[in-house]
Structure 1
Amino acid sequence: MTREVVTTERDAAIQQLRDVGLRVTAPRLEILHILTGGGHMDVETLAVAAREKLGALTSQAVYEMLRHFLETGLVTKFDRPGLPAVFEIAGTPHHHALCSLCGRVDNVTSAPLKKPGNDLSGWDVHGSEIVFKGICPDCSATARN
């Protein structure tokens, strides 16, 4: 049973790459697999995790893969002020919560924002996002101890 699930996940990743016109390679499959595991990861975290399975893989190669994934809509990028950007698999639109101490990013599901009427007259708005800033549960717990 486990073998079927692994094969299905791999086949799905292969199909994702093909659907957006990207060549299927072991590094691309591995980066997609890692991101599919959930969470928000920066380039170095992704590179280290991928190296565990693939061996040699440069951070520059991961940057290039992520650039292609962004251009084709496979992943999204969240910029954290003063910290490296993090990436996640593209999915349902959502907002983010950002810890001001450790930089942790969590997804926040809420109703989509509506375009403000006259305030953005002439703008071609493509989307919106709210970022909730605060202290994550881990940092809060550490501060209490």
Structure 2
Amino acid sequence: MAREAVASEREAAIQRLRDVGLRVTGPRLEVLQVLAAGGHLDVEALTATARERLGTLTSQAVYDMLRHFLETGLVTKFDRPGWPAVFELSGPPHQHALCTGCGRVENVDHEAPVAPGEGLENWDMIGADIVFKGLCPDCRRA
């Protein structure tokens, strides 16, 4: 990757942290940059990837960072029944596809449904999600 692109990604991560009032630290920057590279990563994958670049980083430190990132809206969490939750940078609204064979998650550009008006009296709805379930191309071939 070009030096300018790396510097630009680093500056974007620094600005994201500052925008939500979090202190800029090396580990926070690295975890944000790993997430910015894309994909849906669980804590162990995030820790391993960031640790390769930093030298030392514990899973507990990543859990703590993710808690702060979730509280400030920097990242979103997707719970996968039977697998560890995965995280991604917050962005435009989207839905997810979940492979029931391996747990792979992909973003799907699809609008969430509108909550029904009947049967939910006195509820204060905050959103809706659709999860498309099936087998990913790799699991279909296997």
Q: TM-score range by the shorter chain?
A: over 0.9
RMSD: 1.2
Distance in 2, Cα, partners of 1:98 & 1:3: 35
What is the identity, as a one-letter code, of the residue corresponding to 1:76? T
Helix, strand or coil: the match of 1:113? coil
What is the identity, as a one-letter code, of the residue corresponding to 1:139? C
Alignment partner, residue 41 of structure 2? 41
Distance in 2, Cα, partners of 1:4 & 1:83: 37
Alignment partner, residue 92 of structure 2? 92
Alignment partner, residue 76 of structure 2? 76
Helix, strand or coil: the match of 1:44? helix
Count of aligned pairs between the two proteins? 142
Distance in 1, Cα, partners of 2:56 & 2:2: 27
Unaligned runs of 5+ in 1: none
What is the identity, as a one-letter code, of the residue corresponding to 1:121? E
Alignment partner, residue 67 of structure 2? 67
Distance in 1, Cα, partners of 2:21 & 2:74: 11
Kindly state the Cα deviation for residue 45 of structure 1 after the two structures are TM-superposed: 0.3
Of stretches 111-120 and 60-69 in structure 1, the one that deviates more from structure 2 is 111-120
Helix, strand or coil: the match of 1:98? strand
Kindly state the Cα deviation for residue 111 of structure 1 after the two structures are TM-superposed: 2.2
The answer as to whether partners of 2:98 and 2:104 remain within 8 angstroms in 1 is: yes
- The equivalences for 1:110-125 within 5 A come to 110-125=110-125
Distance in 1, Cα, partners of 2:133 & 2:78: 13
Kindly state the Cα deviation for residue 122 of structure 1 after the two structures are TM-superposed: 1.0
Helix, strand or coil: the match of 1:77? strand
Distance in 2, Cα, partners of 1:112 & 1:101: 24
Alignment partner, residue 102 of structure 1? 102
What is the identity, as a one-letter code, of the residue corresponding to 2:25? T
Alignment partner, residue 53 of structure 1? 53
Distance in 2, Cα, partners of 1:84 & 1:115: 28
Kindly state the Cα deviation for residue 129 of structure 1 after the two structures are TM-superposed: 0.3
CA-to-aligned-CA distance 1:36-90 (integer Å, 9 cap, x gap): 0111000000000011000110000000000000000000000011211000001
Kindly state the Cα deviation for residue 2 of structure 1 after the two structures are TM-superposed: 2.5
Distance in 2, Cα, partners of 1:136 & 1:84: 18
The answer as to whether partners of 2:112 and 2:130 remain within 8 angstroms in 1 is: no
Distance in 2, Cα, partners of 1:102 & 1:40: 13
Percentage of matched positions with identical amino acids: 67
CA-to-aligned-CA distance 1:13-57 (integer Å, 9 cap, x gap): 101000101000010000000000111000000000011000110
